[in-house]
Every structure is written in C-alpha cells, then in structure tokens.
Amino acid sequence: MRIAIIGAGCSGLTAIKNLVEAGLTDIVCYEKNDQIGGNWVYTATPGHSSVNEATHIISSKAMSQLSDFPMPDDYPDYPSHRQILAYFQAYARHFQLDRYIRLNTTVLHAEKIVNERWRLHLDDGTQREFDYLLVANGHHSVPRHPDWKNCFTGKYLHAHDYKTSQGLEGKHILVVGAGNSGCDCAVESSRVAMRVDMSFRSPQYIIPKFIMGKPTDVFAAAIHWLPQGVQNWLQKISLRLQIGRYRDYALPEPDFSPTQAHPTINSALFDRIRHGKVHPRPAIASVTGQTIHFADGSTSEYDVIIAATGYKISFPFFDRAFLNWEETIEVPLFMRIFHPDHPSLFFIGLIQPQGCIWPLTDLQSRLLGQLLINKIKLPPNWRERAIAEAKYWQRQFIARPRHSIEVHYRPYMKQLLRILEPY
C-alpha cells in the first residue's frame, strides 16, 4: 500500500516512525519548508508558523519526551524551542526518517478518487496517487482575527506574527487574549514597552509552571488516579496556596473547573502584574482609530495591538466543500483520527490535549500502523461513534472554537491503549 503524509512536524515524524515499524515502507511525507520540525523551526519571517524567539514548552520534559526516545539528561524541566527542534532532529536521524521526507514540497490539492484512493497535486507540477492519506499539518497556521481588526489604525499583529519584542520599545501595547500565546506576548513585550495592558474577555485559569516544587503536569500526574472531582478540588486548593486568588492580580475569577478549559501555563505573568509591568483590562467593547473602548466604560489609546485570539483548523489542500472545520465546535472523528465518510483518510495530531501532544500522536500513529496491517480492528460501529464522540468531547469543555479538538490527556490516552491492547 502507498501512503502519503502531509507535514513533517512532530506529528508527521511520529507517523512515519510507527508506520515503518509496522512494516509499511512505501511512504512519502511532504513538507513545504526546507527542514523538519513544523512550528518549532524558529524564523523571524512574518507569516511563517513558528514559535517566538523566547518560547519554552509549557509541558515538562518528563511528560513530553517520547517513550522510546528520551530527551537528553542535560535538558531543563522546560526546554527551549531550540532544544525541542534539536530533539526532533535527533529523533529523525535515529530512526532514519529522512529517507521518507520530501522537503520544499507543497501539496497544493488533495482529491479523493475511485476506490477510496487519493491524488495529490504538488507545487512542482506533478501528481502522485496513494492508497491512504495521513494529514499531519498542525492547527496553528491560520490566525483567527477579531471582527474589529480593521477598525484599529495603529499597528496590529496577531500572535502568529509576534516573533520578538524588537521594535516595540517605548510603545503602549494591548495584548488581547489570555491563552499561552497571549501571556507569552505580554510578558516578553513588557520588558521593553512603555506600558502593556492585557484584555480578558472571560476568566482563565493561569497556572504556574511549578506546584509544590514539581512541574505542574508532573504534580497533576501524581493525583490522576483520584476521582475527577477530588482532582479538581486539589488543583484549586494548590493554586490558592501557590498564587492566592486571581482577583489579587486584578484577574477575573474562573467559575468553572480547571479541566473545562484549556489551561494557560505561565509563572512569569503573575510577577509582571504585581510589578506593574502588565495591567489586566476587561473585554473590548469597540475600537475607534487607536482608542479602545472597554466593557467597563473605560478607554485607552495604544500604539500596538497583539491579538492572541487563536487559530482556525485549516486544510488548504482540500476543497472547502469537501472538508471545512474552520468555524466548528465539533470535529466528527472516531478517536480523533478516523473520518466516518472517508475510511482511507486519517488525522494525526488534530488534538489539543490538557498535556503534551507528542506522546499521544505517537500512540495515534502506532494504532494506525497496527490497523493498516490488520493486527487490530476498529469496532463495527466506529462511524456512528465518531459523531457521538464529537458531541461527548464538546460537552466536556466550555463551548468555544478553541476547544473543538480539546481532549483530556489521560482518558484519551486510555482510549488509544484500549484499542491497542491486542497488540
């Protein structure tokens, strides 16, 4: 069987490795950039999906490394983006994955043809046909912009295009959004800006990177065996002891449990707020020129807005009439991998876990490899379950586009392992 993979980021690499281990070697992985690594290839070029200059991972080394390829002993608890890129480059060398990857090759169009096969149109003018198509192009490449974007006459940029604080010296800056990207942008720009404000549309759990001396995800893993209600209570108590109340920082208090929304992991923001370097503000009501009108009736003027307003799920190689999940809050995939209408199409890494994605994409890829060589089988009603699962996951989280592919880390891992048990 001939297998195509789109994307040689972390998800694509684990897919190649596990398929090859299953004995499937007629594989071509198309990567549009000049090297592997996806978002972890830092570049200052605007428009390129990459981390910013100061990025460190928000999951710990212990909970992020792959089971059969540990990170180097000298890596810190939270490695930098350069260390993560080096890790995956070493992973590719160790498992000899380069032979399956075509760099500098963009899939312009993917179309389904007869017998559940796929024809890929490439940017070099050629076409290739495959029996199976794996999509591993990530979900942080197409920014989601606020509807008032064009009303602002100062400098506007999405967090997608924030690479460094250079050029922000002495500016009045408003960061919109309090997710992980928003907090990073606020902290880093506050080191050089005249003033940084941060607009919160809704409450957000902002969690320090260490709890009781342990990385936050290591602490959470130690109590995962407890009932979920007890876990939620312990997490709230530990946060209260660690940081106090959110209102002590002029932040809105969450009125939901920590597991109902994607967490923001950041220790530095609390320090910057208490030192007067970052100033929380309420939601934006309207924008007029460079004047921002906030929901509490106050106004302020800004030189720069950094919109950390998330991303759309995008597949630029599919016709929109064929597949379009840009605005959905439910993604109907069985196990977040298998499409009920297209049994030869698979998605690897189209998840946003409350934990590190890489161990999960490794399991997804292992499951897929064993399925393709008939070592395991999907349940007979997997198509119906795809729809039910989408509704189930949607109920687990606050209904927002950012949660359309959210999963709870350990329950989802257990689901994957349950299907893999025969293997």
The pLDDT tens digits of the residues spanning 71-84 come to: 999 999 999 999 99
191 and 266 both lie in a single domain: yes
Q: State the CATH number of the domain containing residue 205.
A: 3.50.50.60
- Give per-residue pLDDT as tens, 137-190: 988 888 999 999 999 999 999 999 999 999 999 999 999 999 999 999 999 999
What is the model's pLDDT at position 46?
65
Question: Which one is predicted more confidently, 43 or 114?
Answer: 114
In this prediction, residues 193-220 reach a mean pLDDT of 92
What is the model's pLDDT at position 330?
86
CA 29 to chain CA mean position, Å: 21
CA distance 329 to 109: 25
238 and 352 both lie in a single domain: no
DSSP conformation class of 237: H
252 and 345 both lie in a single domain: no
Does the pLDDT at position 280 exceed 60? yes
Q: DSSP strand E in 80-152: where? A: 101-102, 107-113, 117-122, 127-130, 132-135, 142-143
277 and 334 both lie in a single domain: no
Q: In the structure, what pLDDT confidence band is assigned to residue 283 with cuts at 50, 70 and 90?
A: very high
99 and 200 both lie in a single domain: no
Q: β-pairing, 117-122 with 107-113? A: antiparallel
Quick one: 35 exposed, middle or buried, by C-beta within 10 A (0-12, 13-18, 19+)? Answer: middle
**How many C-beta neighbours within 10 Å does residue 166 have?**
9
286 and 399 both lie in a single domain: no
7 and 117 both lie in a single domain: yes
In this prediction, residues 280-309 reach a mean pLDDT of 97
CA distance 419 to 423: 9
- Give per-residue pLDDT as tens, 369-414: 999 999 999 999 999 999 999 888 888 888 777 788 999 899 999 9
Q: What is the DSSP string of 302-356?
A: -SEEEE---EE---TTS-TTT---SS-S----BTTTEETTEEEEEESS--EESS-
In the chain, how many domains are there? Answer: 2
CA distance 262 to 43: 27
Among 307, 327, 360, the domain-final residue is 307
Q: In the structure, what pLDDT confidence band is assigned to residue 320 with cuts at 50, 70 and 90?
A: very high
296 and 343 both lie in a single domain: no
The whole domain housing 151 covers 145-307
Q: Which two tokens stand for residue 295?
A: 């929901």
